[in-house]
Amino acid sequence: MVYESRGHPKGVMFHSNQGCHYTSLAFRQCLWQYQIKQSMSRRGNCWDNAPMERFFASLKSEWIPEQGYRDINEAKSDMVRYLTHYYNRVRPHSYNNYQSPVVTEKSAA
């Protein structure tokens, strides 16, 4: 979803832990189809995945309603809204000098 909305960018890396979802043949083939490089944290080294853990902590504390969602479609559309609008266009990131990723990308271009 987000990959398509960003115009199929080149050089994308997908970082995850070594869970069975991410090591499955079907998942790896999907990444290969989109030419996305796979990266996994080292076994037993939680710091490798710290950026993603931080992302999900922000998602849960800033966005997901306490009562949850009515159904999977509501959850999916809300996740797309979080990623494409709030997280990338509105939310300040300390790593980017408290600018959104979109503002940082535009100023670097």
DSSP for 61-98, please give it.
HHTS-TT--SSHHHHHHHHHHIIIIIIIIIS-BGGGTT
Would 78 be classed as within a structural domain?
yes
Kindly report, residue by residue over 5-21, the tens digit of the pLDDT.
778 888 888 888 788 88
> Do 92 and 99 form a contact (C-beta atoms < 8 A)?
yes
Would 28 be classed as within a structural domain?
yes
Reference 59, options 40, 41, 75; nearest CA is 75
Question: What total of structural domains would you count in the chain?
Answer: 2
Question: Domain check: are 1 and 39 in the same one?
Answer: yes
Q: How many residues does the chain have?
A: 109
Kindly report, residue by residue over 45-76, the tens digit of the pLDDT.
778 778 888 888 999 999 999 999 999 999 99
pTM beyond 0.75: no
Question: Domain check: are 28 and 67 in the same one?
Answer: no
Question: Domain check: are 35 and 71 in the same one?
Answer: no
